[in-house]
A and B are shown apart, each in its own frame.
Chain A
Amino acid sequence: MRYVEPGLVLRFARNQLAALLVILGGMVLLLSLLTSTFLTANNIFNVLRAFSWIAIASFGQSIVIIGGGIDLSAGSNMAFAGIITAMLLLAGYSVVFSILVGLLITLGIGLLNGLMVSKTKLPPFIATLGTMSIVRGFCYGMTQGWPVRNLPRSFMFLGQTDIWRVPLPAIIMIGLAVFCAILLEKTKLGYHVYAVGGNEYAASLVGINTGRVKTIAFTLSGLFAGIGGLLMTARLGVAAPTAAQGYELDIIAAAVIGGISLTGGEGSVWGALIGAAIMQILRNALVLMGFPAYWQPAAIGAVIIGAVMIDMYRKRKV
C-alpha cells in the first residue's frame, strides 16, 4: 500500500500556477533587459493599477467559469456600477451610500443572471449575453450618452490614492484575491463550485444544490465586476456609458490565460490574477517598446492562444 505523492518535478509540471509564474517571470526579465523604463517603480505600480479592475472582475468571472458557467455581462456591470454611483454622488448622496447602492445593483444583476441560469435553465452564455445588452442599454439611457463627470474628490480618492506608493486599487485587488482564494479553496461552497463545474451530474447525485451554487457564483461575479468598475471610475473621475465596453473578453481572457478551463471545474483566482497581469504587462511592453499600435491586437491574441496551448499541452503530457 502506498500513498506516495508525485515527485517534485512532476508536481511542478502539474502546477498551473508554477508554469504561469515562469511565463510571467520570463516576461519581466525580458522586458527589464529590453527597456530601461519597464522595471521602474513608477511603471510597475502603473501597471498594477491598470490591471487591478480587470483582475478584480476576473476573480468573480473565475468563480463562475470554475462553476461551469460564463458571465458576459461583466463589462456592462463595470460601467453600470460606475454610472449609478456617479449619478448618486452628483445628486448629493454620501460616498459610502452611493458606493453601496452601486454595488448592490450589480450584485442584483448577478443574482438575476444566476436565477435565470439555475431556475429557468437558460444557458449562461445566452442569459448573460442578454443582461450584457440590457445593462449597457441602461447605461446609455440613464446618461443619454454623456459621460458623468465632476465627481467628488472624496470618491476619486479610492482610485487615485497610493499607500507607500502602492496604488490603493492594487491593494484592494490583492485583498479580494485572498478572499476569493479562501472562498474557493477552503470553504464547503468553494468545494461545491468546483464539483458543479467539474461534473454537474455527479454533484447533483450526491445531493449538492447545484442551482444554489450557480446562483451564488453569478451573484459574486456581478459584485466583483461592480467593485472593479467603481475603482476604475474613481481612478478616471468619469463614468462613461461606453466604459469597459468589450472588457468582458479581457476579463474572460485573463481567467483563461490563468489556466481556468472554460469547461469548468479547475483553476484558481491566483491564475486569473497572473493572467490579468500577463495581459497588462504585454500591453505595457508593446507601448514601451514602441510596437506599432496597429499590430497590438494580433500580439495579444497570439498570447491568449499560446498560453492556453501551453496549458493544454502540459495537461496532456503529465
Chain B
Amino acid sequence: MEAKVFASSQPILSLRGISKYFGGVHALEDVDFDVYPQEIVALVGDNGAGKSTLVKIIAGVHRPTKGHIFFQGQPVEIHSPHDAQALGIEIVYQELALIETRDVPANFFLGREPVKGRLGIFVDRRKMVEDTVRTLRELGIELPYLRSPVRYLSGGQRQALAIGRVMPWGGKIIIMDEPTAALGVKESRRVLDLILRLKEKGCSVIVISHNMRHVFNVADRIVVLRGGRKVGDKKKSETTPDEIVKLIVGADML
C-alpha cells in the first residue's frame, strides 16, 4: 500500500532499507525515506512508531543497524551531529536547547560564536548582534528584547529563535521535532509561517508533528510510520487527514 515515489527530481537525501535495533527492540525496520530540495516533509505516527529514531539517525545522534544513506546521490556515513552539520543537516532542538539565562545573540550563535582578533579567543559581539538582527528580520521573527535573557521571551518567541538560529549555517535540511507542541494558536501560526519561509529560502524541512491541521497546512508530503515500518508516503494533494489518521492507527483497527 506504499505510495509511489516522486521521481521528478533527485532527492537531496535518501535513506534506503534503514533498520535500527536497540537490543531486542526493533525501532525501525527496513525504512526508505527521501527528502527533495525545497520540500517540507511531515513525519507522522503514533508514539513509539520510530519518528524520533529516524530523525536522530539523519542527525547523526544514532547510527543505523542496517541500511544506507545517500546525500545528493552520494553514499555517506553520518557518525555524529558534527558530520550531519557538515552536510548541511541541522536539527532544531526545542526550547530545551536554549540557554535561558543568556540573551538572544548568545543563544543564536550558541557553540559557534564568531571570533575576532589574532588570538582567536575573543568573541565578535558586534557581528553576533548584526547577524542575529539580520537573520531574524529575514525570517520575520519579532523579538522584543534582544539583550535580555531568553527567559523573558514567550514560548513562541523562543521557538522562533530556536528555529531561526539554524538558518545562518547554510542548512540544506532542517529537522524539527514537534515545533508547535507547546504553543498557542497564534504562536503556532507564526512558527508555521516560519517553516514556509525557510522553504522559500531554499531549505528542505522535516517536521515531526501530531497536529493534522498543522501538517496539512505546511507539508508537501506526508510520511507515516507505524511500529517501525513505513506505512504511508503521500503527497498532500493526494490524501486527506482521515486517510493519514487511518494509516497512523492501522486501518485494520477501524
Q: Is the CB of B81 within 8 A of A199?
A: no
Q: Which residues on A sit within 8 Å (CB–CB) of B123?
A: 186-188, 190-191
Binds A, one of B7-15, B66-74, B139-147, B176-184: B139-147
Q: Which residues on B sit within 8 Å (CB–CB) of A203?
A: 99, 110-111
Q: Which residues on A sit within 8 Å (CB–CB) of B101?
A: 194, 197-198, 261, 264-266
Closest to A190 in B: B123
> Assuming A202-B110, A206-B110, is B98 touching A4 (CB within 8 A)?
no
* Chain A CB within 8 A of B29 CB: no
Closest to A207 in B: B111
In the complex, what distance in Å separates the CA atom of A266 from the CA atom of B100?
9
Q: Is the CB of B121 within 8 A of A205?
A: no
Q: Could you tell me the distance in whole angstroms from the C-beta of A318 to the nearest C-beta in chain B?
A: 8
Q: Is the CB of B99 within 8 A of A265?
A: yes
Closest to A197 in B: B101
Q: Is the CB of B146 within 8 A of A3?
A: yes
Q: Which residues on A sit within 8 Å (CB–CB) of B65?
A: none
Q: Which residues on B sit within 8 Å (CB–CB) of A202?
A: 93, 96-99, 110
Q: Could you tell me the distance in whole angstroms from the C-beta of A62 to the nearest C-beta in chain B?
A: 14
> Assuming A186-B123, A207-B82, A208-B111, is B102 touching A265 (CB within 8 A)?
yes
Q: Which residues on B sit within 8 Å (CB–CB) of A188?
A: 113, 115, 121-123
> Assuming A187-B123, A198-B102, A199-B98, is B144 touching A266 (CB within 8 A)?
no
Task: Give the residue among A187, A188, A265 with the most B Cβ atoms within 10 A.
Answer: A188
Partner of B97, one of A186, A197, A201: A201
Q: Is the CB of A186 within 8 A of B81?
A: no
Q: Is the CB of A198 within 8 A of B99?
A: yes
Partner of B102, one of A2, A194, A201, A261: A194
Q: Could you tell me the distance in whole angstroms from the C-beta of A145 to the nearest C-beta in chain B?
A: 45
Q: Could you tell me the distance in whole angstroms from the C-beta of B20 to the nearest C-beta in chain A?
A: 20
Q: Which residues on B sit within 8 Å (CB–CB) of A190?
A: 123
* Chain B CB within 8 A of A1 CB: yes
* Residues of B98-121 whose CB lies within 8 A of A: 98-102, 106, 110-113, 115, 121
Interface size on A (CB < 8 Å)?
Answer: 30
Interface size on B (CB < 8 Å)?
Answer: 33
* Chain B CB within 8 A of A65 CB: no
Closest to B91 in A: A205
* Residues of A249-265 whose CB lies within 8 A of B: 261, 264-265
Q: Which residues on B sit within 8 Å (CB–CB) of A189?
A: 121
* Chain B CB within 8 A of A149 CB: no
Partner of A195, one of B111, B115, B133, B148: B111
Q: Is the CB of A1 within 8 A of B121?
A: no
In the complex, what distance in Å separates the CA atom of A175 from the CA atom of B149?
28
* Chain A CB within 8 A of B201 CB: no
Q: Is the CB of B81 within 8 A of A207?
A: yes
In the complex, what distance in Å separates the CA atom of A308 from the CA atom of B81?
40
Closest to A191 in B: B113
* Chain B CB within 8 A of A292 CB: no
Partner of A206, one of B97, B102, B140, B144: B97
Q: Is the CB of A205 within 8 A of B99?
A: no
Q: Is the CB of A5 within 8 A of B147?
A: yes
Partner of B106, one of A187, A194, A201: A194
Q: Could you tell me the distance in whole angstroms from the C-beta of A190 to the nearest C-beta in chain B?
A: 8
* Chain B CB within 8 A of A14 CB: yes
A-B contacts, 8 of them at CB < 8 A, read A2-B144, A3-B133, A6-B148, A195-B110, A197-B101, A199-B97, A205-B81, A208-B110
Given contacts A1-B137, A202-B97, A203-B99, 4 further A-B contacts (CB under 8 A): A5-B145, A188-B115, A194-B101, A194-B106
Rank and list the top 3 A-B pairs by shortest CB-CB distance, nearest first. Answer: A206-B111, A198-B99, A265-B101
Q: Which B positions have Cβ atoms within 8 angstroms of A?
A: 81-82, 85, 93, 96-102, 106, 110-113, 115, 121-123, 125, 133, 136-137, 140, 142-149
